[in-house]
């Protein structure tokens, strides 16, 4: 127990720190200040990498403050002269698109403000999903416990995000709707509020925007809003002749990790230098992240547009997977074989039920009510649009609110349809505020896009 004088001094200093005239924001692992990017190495010497458009250097007196939770581990001091290709031997990634997308997600993870991609690593056993996630984490935000089990609730997810720059959830079997929504908010920035423990009226607000890595065997990004924020890589099993022990892998990785980090710093400096000059055609949902990565392509020795092309192909594959997974797509295609269809939701559900097979109607995702049908069509519409189809929800006429499904080449803007352009650039029908056919809620589960210029 400290003496009275020491205790008084501690209380005085604590009071000055909490209520003094100067308040400094604190950051976790990365920060930005006056056009520069700062990466906390979190070592005992207090070293931080200052990255500007002109290059990077290691400093010990940055103009920003960092907090270092107990589970945080240090990054190595970066070394010049390496290339991003030094990373490739440590990943079970064989095709070029997956390599480009992995590096892109890696660079996006260093953005201090986001939005950040959700990197989904999926595939059968022995495809090095967890090892790949650990490599990602060791290059951005090493931690005592690099991989976590799925959280029990969104509060646990936000608490994990407050103490770690990257959230890595390993070996996920299923993503619930609640967890999917929470991951979306975490990727593009969002919060969670709850009553402060042991109080009646105080509120605690947790807010974070973090890179996310998910690993699992089955398809994980099944909901449209999660799929829009995800980069999904299908991992192949490692051939027997390519296997190596983890001990050998990590020893070799640690030898080149400083050079890989130096190459990443070179790319980040290039991104700061070029980002305002980059123009990406048809900006995707994660527009800021896409522009950031595209701005670094010169330093990576990539042809301009390399990431955008790979990302577009990845998104189209994801949309195709959404169509394959939905029991509604087959009946919808059969419905419009003879031309556009329009009618109230209850008639649409009945007609689709007539065209569906017994297996499709028995699918757990088959909607049982007009309200559920509208919710599923909202989520499925981007995948339908990618296949040349479009669903529109029209103005209420009389007692019914009509739905229209048509092929895009035959689609026109009907006079009775109110459409708006959301921030992702997609044309969506106005939801209104009335129920459909007396049984359908009109609320939207759509999430706003982030950062689209």
Which tens digit of pLDDT belongs to each residue from 51-69?
999 999 999 999 999 999 9
CA distance 163 to 143: 10
Range of the domain at 404: 326-429
Q: 350 and 203, same structural domain?
A: no
109 and 171, same domain (yes or no): yes
Least confident of 147-161, 276-290, 302-316, 372-386: 276-290
Residue 189 shares a structural domain with residue 279: yes
Give 305 or 203, the one with higher predicted confidence.
305
The pLDDT value recorded for residue 80 is: 96
Mean pLDDT for the chain overall:
84
Instruction: Read off the pLDDT of each residue in 380-404 and give the average, rounded to a whole number.
Output: 84
Considering the domain boundaries, does residue 250 fall inside one?
A: yes
Nearest Cα to Cα of residue 274 among 249, 256, 300: 300
Count of the separate structural domains present in the chain? 2
pLDDT at 78 over 70: yes
pLDDT band for position 261 (cuts 50, 70, 90): very high
pTM above 0.85, yes or no: no
- Whether residue 398 is predicted with pLDDT greater than 80 in this model: the reply is no
- Given 322, 342, 370, the domain boundary residue is 322
Whether residues 257 and 374 share a domain: the answer is no
Span 122-142, pLDDT tens digits:
998 889 999 999 999 999 999
Does 307 lie in the same domain as 202? yes
Instruction: Report residue 238's pLDDT band, with 50, 70 and 90 as the boundaries.
Output: confident
Predicted local distance difference test score (pLDDT) of residue 280: 66
For residue 114, the model assigns a pLDDT of 80
What span, in angstroms and rounded, lies between the C-alpha atoms of 256 and 262?
10
Listed ranges 19-33, 248-262, 393-407; the one with the highest mean pLDDT: 248-262
Q: Are residues 333 and 282 in the same domain?
A: no
CA distance 129 to 123: 7
Residue 11 pLDDT level (bands cut at 50, 70, 90): confident
Residues of the chain with pLDDT > 70, as a percent, come to 84
Query: Per mean pLDDT, which range of 29-33, 224-228, 400-404, 413-417 is the poorest?
Result: 413-417
CA dist list (Å): 385 to 138, 284, 304, 349, 427: 39, 15, 27, 20, 10
Q: What angle do CA 276, 281, 286 make, to 5 degrees?
A: 75
| pLDDT tens track for 330-370 | 999 999 998 999 889 999 999 999 999 999 999 998 999 99
The fraction of the chain above a pLDDT of 90, given in percent, is: 53
Question: Is the per-residue pLDDT at 415 higher than 50?
Answer: no
Single out the residue in 304, 322, 340 at which a domain terminates: 322
Which letter does DSSP use for residue 235 in this model?
Answer: P
Q: How far apart are CA 412 and CA 227, in angstroms?
A: 28
Query: What is residue 159's predicted lDDT score, i.e. its pLDDT?
Result: 84
Q: In the 8-state DSSP scheme, what is residue 77?
A: P
**pLDDT (average), residues 34-53:** 96
pLDDT greater than 70 at residue 183: yes
Instruction: Say how far apart CA 135 and CA 250 lie, in whole Å.
Output: 9
Q: Is residue 20 part of a domain?
A: no
The candidate with the shortest Cα–Cα distance to 351, out of 372, 330, 332, is 332
Asked whether residue 49 is assigned to any structural domain, the reply reads no
The answer to the question of residue 211 being in a domain is yes
My answer on whether 163 and 150 are in the same domain is yes
Are residues 143 and 252 part of one domain?
yes
Q: Is residue 50 part of a domain?
A: no
- Residue 241 sits in the same domain as residue 266: yes
Query: Do 275 and 240 lie in a common domain?
Result: yes
Same domain, 227 and 334: no
Helix (H) or strand (E) holding 429: strand 427-429
In angstroms, the CA 120 to CA 123 distance is: 10
CB-based contacts of 265: which residues, under 8 Å, 6+ apart?
Answer: 39, 49, 51, 56, 78
Do both 314 and 332 map to the same domain?
no
**Domain contains 246:** yes
Judge whether 389 lies within some domain: yes
Higher pLDDT, 280 or 271: 271
CATH number, domain with residue 290: 3.40.50.300
Examine the pLDDT at 15 and tell me if it is beyond 60.
yes
Q: What is the DSSP letter of 211?
A: -
Q: Is residue 414 part of a domain?
A: yes
Answer with the one of 272, 294, 322 that is the final residue of a domain.
322
Task: Supply the pLDDT for residue 131.
Answer: 94
Q: What does DSSP say about strands 230-234 and 118-122: parallel, antiparallel, or unpaired?
A: parallel
Lowest mean pLDDT, pick from 133-142, 160-169, 409-418: 409-418
pLDDT bin (cut points 50, 70, 90) of residue 402 is confident
In this prediction, residue 282 carries a pLDDT of 64
Q: What is the rounded distance in angstroms from the CA atom of residue 296 to the CA atom of residue 207?
A: 29
Look at residue 108 and tell me whether its pLDDT is greater than 70.
Answer: yes
């Amino acid at each position: 127990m400290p003496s009275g004088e020491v205790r008084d001094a501690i209380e005085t200093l604590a009071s000055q720190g909490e209520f003094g005239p100067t308040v400094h924001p604190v950051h976790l692992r990365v920060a930005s200040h006056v056009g520069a990017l700062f990466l906390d190495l979190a070592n005992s010497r207090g070293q931080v990498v200052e990255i500007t458009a002109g290059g990077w250097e290691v400093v010990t007196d940055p103009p920003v403050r960092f907090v270092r939770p107990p589970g945080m581990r240090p990054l190595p001091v970066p070394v010049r002269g390496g290339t991003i290709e030094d990373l490739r031997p440590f990943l079970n990634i064989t095709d070029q698109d997956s390599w480009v997308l992995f590096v892109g997600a890696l660079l996006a993870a260093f953005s201090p403000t986001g939005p950040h991609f959700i990197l989904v690593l999926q595939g059968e056993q022995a495809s090095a999903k967890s090892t790949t996630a650990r490599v990602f984490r060791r290059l951005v935000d090493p931690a005592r416990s690099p991989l976590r089990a799925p959280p029990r609730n969104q509060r646990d997810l936000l608490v994990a995000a407050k103490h770690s720059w990257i959230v890595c959830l390993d070996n996920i079997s299923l993503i619930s709707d609640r967890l999917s929504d929470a991951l979306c908010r975490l990727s593009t920035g969002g919060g969670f509020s709850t009553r402060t423990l042991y109080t009646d009226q105080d509120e605690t607000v947790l807010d974070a925007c973090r890179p996310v890595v998910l690993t699992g065997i089955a398809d994980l990004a099944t909901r449209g809003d999660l799929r829009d924020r995800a980069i999904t890589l299908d991992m192949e099993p490692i051939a027997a002749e390519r296997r190596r022990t983890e001990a050998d892998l990590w020893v070799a990785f640690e030898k080149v990790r400083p050079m890989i980090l130096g190459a990443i710093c070179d790319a980040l400096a290039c991104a700061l230098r070029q980002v305002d000059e980059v123009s990406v055609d048809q900006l995707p949902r994660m527009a800021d992240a896409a522009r950031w990565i595209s701005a670094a392509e010169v330093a990576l020795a990539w042809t301009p547009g390399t990431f955008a092309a790979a990302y577009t192909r990845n998104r189209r594959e994801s949309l195709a997977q959404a169509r394959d997974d939905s029991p509604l797509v087959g009946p919808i295609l059969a419905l419009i074989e003879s031309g556009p269809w329009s009618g109230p939701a209850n008639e649409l559900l009945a007609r689709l039920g007539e065209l569906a097979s017994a297996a499709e109607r028995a699918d757990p995702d088959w909607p049982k009510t007009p309200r559920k049908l509208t919710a599923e069509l909202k989520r499925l519409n981007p995948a339908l649009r990618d296949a040349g189809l479009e669903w529109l929800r029209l103005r209420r006429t009389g007692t019914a609110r009509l739905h229209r499904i048509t092929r895009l080449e035959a689609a026109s803007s009907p006079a009775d349809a109110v459409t708006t352009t959301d921030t992702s650039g997609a044309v969506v029908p106005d939801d209104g505020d009335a129920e459909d056919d007396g049984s359908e809620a009109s609320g939207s589960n759509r999430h706003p896009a982030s950062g689209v210029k």
